[in-house]
Amino acid sequence: MKPIICITGTPGVGKTSISHKLREVLDGNLVEVNKLAEEKELFIGEDPVRGYKIVDIPSLCKEIAKVVERDSLNIVEGHLSHYCRICDLVIVLRLHPRILLQRLEERGYDHKKIKENVEAEALGVCAYEAYQLHDDRVHEIDC
């Protein structure tokens, strides 16, 4: 079986752009975690404070395992991808919080969501979680 590369990071760091480029360059299969969760309706509720949908992580990981192509290199993209143990390599994309702030403002995110994501990036939340689950299979890349 060919490798499964998971691309993760705080929203706005460039996961989607880089994953699409990698798919082209490496001629791989791209699994977009957010789209998969929407298509398969893998939600267990809604956060009452933040208002976003809560993804059923075990169900998401099972769905990812079903859609990866065994004979292709697979790129699994999304800020939840590192929660799945199927990853052979985890790439955590990082971005300076000031640049992330600017990107999220340009995308029209509300102030509360911007603050939450910039703080998560400054604290390295995705990287920390990835290292907890995948240890030496994690690599951080500054975008």
- C-alpha 8/C-alpha 11 separation (Å) is 9
Of all residues in the chain, the percent with pLDDT exceeding 70 is 100
pTM of the predicted model as reported, rounded to 2 decimal places: 0.94
Domain enclosing residue 115, as ranges = 4-142
**Tally of domains within the chain:** 1
Which CATH number covers residue 115? 3.40.50.300
Taking only the tens place, the pLDDT of each residue in 11-46 is 999 999 999 999 999 999 999 999 999 999 999 999
Dihedral over alpha carbons 134, 74, 86, 36 (to 10 degrees): 110
